[in-house]
Amino acid sequence: MEINNLTISKIREGFLRKDFSAVEITEEYLKQIDKKDKSISAYLTITKDLAISQAKEIDKSISDNKKFSDLAGVPCSIKDNILIKEIKCTAGSKILENYIAPYDATVIKKLKEDGAVILGKTNLDEFGMGASTENSAFKITHNPDDLTRVPGGTSGGSAAAVAASECCYALGSDTGGSIRQPASFCGVVGLKPTYGAVSRYGLMAFASSLDQIGSLTKTVEDARIVFNAISGKDEMDSTSVELNPKSQIPNPKSRHRRGLSMPTKSSILDKVGTKSEQIPNSKFQIKNLRIGIPKEYFVKGIDQEVEKIIKQTIKKIEEQGAKIEEISLPHTEYALACYYIIAPSEASANLARYDGIKYGLSKNKEENLLNVYLKSRGEGFGAEVKRRIILGAYSLSAGYYDAYYLKAQEVRNLIKEDFKKAFSRVDLILTPVSPTTAFKIGEKTKDPLSMYLSDIYTVAISLAGLPAISLPCGRVKGLSVGLQIIGNYFEENKILDIASFIEKLVIQ
Ligand code: GLN
């Protein structure tokens, strides 16, 4: 069976035509993992038993002629910082090497309700800190397009798994670019939703005001299907909001799209058609759509070839009738510095819970409590995580709080204002995702600053909490280039509509 070009809807069609069963398709993906993952190393854990039992359940429902949802029976993978009940969840860290998740993250609960088949957990930079998936305590993931190169990070395992067809789609998390940049490097579609559009309950916290779960998929249509499945208000995450299906402005009055009760077998199948889906806008018009190109994103440092491809794509969109205008986001140059104060500050607080007592690795044979902490954290955390904790603790410390953390929050507001002003003039903003294509393994590991620069085009969007997608739009020497489409708050639908239009335009 040829699985390399399968998408969520093609698998669904296959089920309806009885071309294959859910168990058969699951076995095909498991075979592909067997064949390819030795060289790619996208996965940390394979959940074969779980996958097969989920697939069997869907096959039974299909043979009973019950309705089934878009994701039913479709094999996926999950970044290893998202909890799946009774499955190991490491966050790519030695400190959680043997940690078994006690409950399902809300996104997993939703996927299970939809009948998803979960093939395994994917590799990541430890606790989501990095830009290449080289900071995992366990293995380095390789870019399927060129095994000597990184897949990007930190959802590098998820992006590589989708690119190599070791799953049909994957979940990742994005704090400063970790879905978009690996999607760009691996040539897949990566959607980072608006902060609050998807529940973070059960996502291991890195920087809580920035973390967001999203998808890595082969197509824009698949991104929409996964977004529909995982988004919505969750009472377990007070920052999550309900989405209004038409305007996608959060609707405070509407009830939760789905209850939080555990799914029953029939609920997997019966609720199709009842949920408030984000549907493609059939009236979508490229003509007169106002698109902003921020001049600050096309400056020194961007690879010439990457810039050329992005500009060619913008040209093609203009030729279709869109109104392209140059805009300015004047505080862009401070975004990286601002991010590297705020994210480590929040990380230093969030990671305090790993004390060798409550969770994971415990060096509890020490003569006193302090040494239990020091030994457990000293041996459990990798270098980048320690660097962030030190940086964050310093920025938050009494004498420096005003100068660093508070200042960074002020800058964050200025960055938000930049976008607010821009969106009063334009509907969408286009930029590159990354200044370069996938770099060589080892190229930036000795120089943290050059690694941080990898996210120069993605962090501002995270600081503002806006939604954005990374869409493959061309290649340089065989390596993928991603176009970033940024929308206003909760305008995922608008982003997906234009992304789907551009997707067709660049394939032609
Ligand atoms: N590269 C950024 C960092 O290291 C972003 C990571 C992420 O989005 N999780 O913090």
Domain that holds residue 488: 8-266+469-506
343 within ligand 1 shell (Cβ under 6 A): yes
What residue's CA is closest to ligand 1, atom 10? Answer: 129
Which atom of ligand 1 has the smallest separation from the CA of 339? 10
Within a domain: residue 258? Answer: yes
| Encoded tokens for 479 | 């390596």
What pLDDT, on the 0 to 100 scale, is given for residue 31?
Answer: 98
Within a domain: residue 379? Answer: no
What pLDDT, on the 0 to 100 scale, is given for residue 269?
Answer: 38
- Tell me how far the alpha carbon of residue 274 lies from the centroid of ligand 1, in angstroms: 36
Other C-beta atoms within 10 Å of 374: how many? Answer: 14
Whole-number Å distance between alpha carbons of 464 and 412? 7
341 within ligand 1 shell (Cβ under 6 A): no
130 within ligand 1 shell (Cβ under 6 A): yes
What pLDDT, on the 0 to 100 scale, is given for residue 67?
Answer: 85
- Tell me how far the alpha carbon of residue 80 lies from the centroid of ligand 1, in angstroms: 15
392 within ligand 1 shell (Cβ under 6 A): no
Within a domain: residue 352? Answer: no
> How many domains does the chain divide into?
1
Report the CATH number at residue 120. 3.90.1300.10
- Tell me how far the alpha carbon of residue 151 lies from the centroid of ligand 1, in angstroms: 14
Which atom of ligand 1 has the smallest separation from the CA of 384? 4
- Tell me how far the alpha carbon of residue 340 lies from the centroid of ligand 1, in angstroms: 9
Which atom of ligand 1 has the smallest separation from the CA of 155? 9
Whole-number Å distance between alpha carbons of 347 and 236? 21
Which atom of ligand 1 has the smallest separation from the CA of 179? 8
Within a domain: residue 229? Answer: yes
360 within ligand 1 shell (Cβ under 6 A): no
Residues lower than pLDDT 50 in the chain: 247-249, 252-275
Beta bridge partners of 50: none
Pocket test for ligand 1, best of 134, 175, 210, 454 (most atoms within 8 A of CB): 175
178 within ligand 1 shell (Cβ under 6 A): yes
129 within ligand 1 shell (Cβ under 6 A): yes
380 within ligand 1 shell (Cβ under 6 A): no
What pTM was computed for the model? 0.94
Whole-number Å distance between alpha carbons of 79 and 207? 16
DSSP helix, strand, coil percent of the chain (3-state; round to 5): 40, 15, 45
Cα three-residue angle 183-189-193, rounded to 5 degrees: 95
What pLDDT, on the 0 to 100 scale, is given for residue 149?
Answer: 98
| Encoded tokens for 439 | 């770099």
What pLDDT, on the 0 to 100 scale, is given for residue 250?
Answer: 53
Within a domain: residue 117? Answer: yes
Within a domain: residue 321? Answer: no
The H or E element that residue 429 is part of is strand 428-432
Cα three-residue angle 80-386-412, rounded to 5 degrees: 80
Within a domain: residue 228? Answer: yes
Strands in 43-46's sheet, in edge-to-edge order, are: 43-46, 117-122, 75-79, 169-174, 212-217, 189-192, 468-476, 479-486, 428-432, 290-294, 323-327
Within a domain: residue 348? Answer: no
What pLDDT, on the 0 to 100 scale, is given for residue 270?
Answer: 40
